Structure 1
Amino acid sequence: MTTRPLRRYTYCADGPQIYRESFAIVRAETDLSGIPADAEHVAVRMVHTCGQPDLTADLRIHPDFVRAGRAALLAGAPIFVDSTMVAAGITRRRLPAANEVICHLNDLRVPELAAAWGTTRSAAAVSLWGDRLDGAMVAVGNAPTALFHLLEQISEGGPRPAGIVGVPVGFVGSAESKQALIEHDAGIPYVAVTGRRGGAALAAAVINALAGRPE
């Protein structure tokens, strides 16, 4: 049996209390006035994940995103992600229909496709999503090239997902890819964070918020 070390610091160690207080602080410190009413819990979950209440100033949530996303998950739609980090962050027990979480980044076909097309592995992997993308949910948290590639496929008549979480992080192409999502004329509901901020944890947080109860 392991021995608990001497407690040298004053801190809350009650899990449920930490949970309650954390979300109370988020709601007290976050301006949710520009967020669709049914998406407030999505914004709250994202702020809780990154620890930055000012995130909502850059957060863009399509007014139909929550409705479309929840309907897709309840119908058993798969969730396509651009990285194993996003996949790992999705809490499977929250998913309402044991929804499949799919990442093709490590598929053996990806390196050859990426080399042939002169693009990244993340972008090439998107092409392997195939027809199952129709009506599915998408969560892009790492690679701007994956989001660009997805939008290009849709623009050429490719399968249309039910909703897109587009929050890739970075200094090259990140802001531009998210702006392209916001301005895309396909009418697909989305969540985006303008600028350079984003990441796998934020992408997973959106899916978890859709699947779980409001905080």
Structure 2
Amino acid sequence: MGAISRDGLDVARRSREIVREKIREVLGEDIERYSEWEMRIIERVVHATADMEYAKLIRFKNHPIERGIEGIRNNCPMVVDVEMVKVGIRYDNIFSFIDDERVYEIAKEEGITRAAAAMRVAKPYIDRGIVVVGNAPTALFEVVRLIEEEGVEPRLVIGVPVGFVKAGESKELLRSIDVPSITTEGPKGGTPVAVSIANGIVELSRGREV
């Protein structure tokens, strides 16, 4: 969890114990549906947000953690929607194109958001790479379009944009297609959720405790 001192490790350990207890209370018998790795990711998100509802909101499709671990071990590119997400993830081969000059041009010419335009610029990195969307629903819509219309094949899409406008719809659309994904239901999500999921998979790929 990032702690290195004895006191920090003790706090992190006790926090994790509390989180696990509360997740068991929230999920009840449904906890049996999740694998050990899935539970580690759920615990990490709940720990990062202090929001127990995430235990019921996170969805895993098509063995996404395994696909993510495989990709990271092969140093595949990771594309994110905004700089906030990029700076939080402990992985070197990571890209954010939101401030790329080409993005401004495409957004203006096509009448689309910069977040969507950034995914178009990122297309070569998305194919066989990992995508992490924590803020912009339009970025996630564009990723789905690239998959369906242009044959792009990401290893994993972590789609957890936050908000009351199009966020839930973008995640539902992602869950409707046959691609490994981790999403949240409804409007909840955001940078802390995206970063905690991505870092959890990075840590698992390195054989570390999540």
Give me the TM-score of the superposition, normalised by structure 2: 0.88
Give the one of 150, 168, 171 matched to 1:157: 150
* 1:140 alignment partner, one of 133, 140, 145: 133
Q: Match of 1:119, SS?
A: coil
Structure possessing the higher radius of gyration over alpha carbons: 1
Offset at 1:34?
Answer: 3.7
Q: CA deviation at 1:57?
A: 1.1
Question: Could you tell me whether the CA contact under 8 Å between 1:35 and 1:43 is conserved in 2?
Answer: no
Which residue number in structure 1 is paired with residue 185 of structure 2?
194
Q: Deviations over 1:98-130 (max 9, x none)?
A: x41100000011112111111110010000113
The CA deviation string for residues 134-182 of structure 1, in whole angstroms up to 9 with x for no partner, is: 2111100000000001101110133211000000001110000000011
Corresponding residue pairs, total:
195
Q: How many angstroms does 1:63 deviate by?
A: 4.4
Secondary structure of the structure 2 residue equivalent to 1:14 = helix
Q: Distance in 2 between matches of 1:53 and 1:22?
A: 13
**1:204 is the counterpart of 2:195:** yes
Question: Cα–Cα, structure 1 residues 33 and 54, in superposed 2: closer, same or farther, change >3 Å?
Answer: farther
Secondary structure of 2:188's match?
A: coil
Q: Is the 8 A contact 2:62 2:179 kept in 1?
A: no
Corresponding residue number in structure 2 for 1:86: 85
CA spacing shift, 1:165–1:21, aligned 2, 3 Å: same
Check conservation: 1:139, 1:165, Cα contact below 8 A.
yes
Specify the SS of the correspondent of 2:150: coil
1:69-96 residue CA offsets vs partner (Å, 9 max, x unmatched): 100000110110000011011124xxxx
Give the alignment of 1:93-172 within 5 angstroms: 99-172=92-165
Secondary structure of 1:161 counterpart: coil
The answer to whether the 8 A contact 2:82-2:96 is kept is yes
Counterparts of residues 19-98 of structure 1 (less than 5 Å): 19-30=12-23, 31=27, 32-92=31-91
Taking only aligned residues, the RMSD between alpha carbons, in angstroms, comes to 1.5
Of Structure 1 and Structure 2, the greater helix share is in: 2
Inter-partner Cα distance in structure 1 for 2:155 and 2:105: 29
Moved more, 56-65 or 118-127: 56-65
SS of the residue 1:160 aligns to = coil
CA distance in 2, matches of 1:75, 1:202: 24
1:53 alignment partner, SS class: coil
Corresponding position of 2:209: 214
Q: Quick one: distance in 1 between partners of 2:37 and 2:200?
A: 11
TM-score between the two structures when normalised by the length of structure 1: 0.86
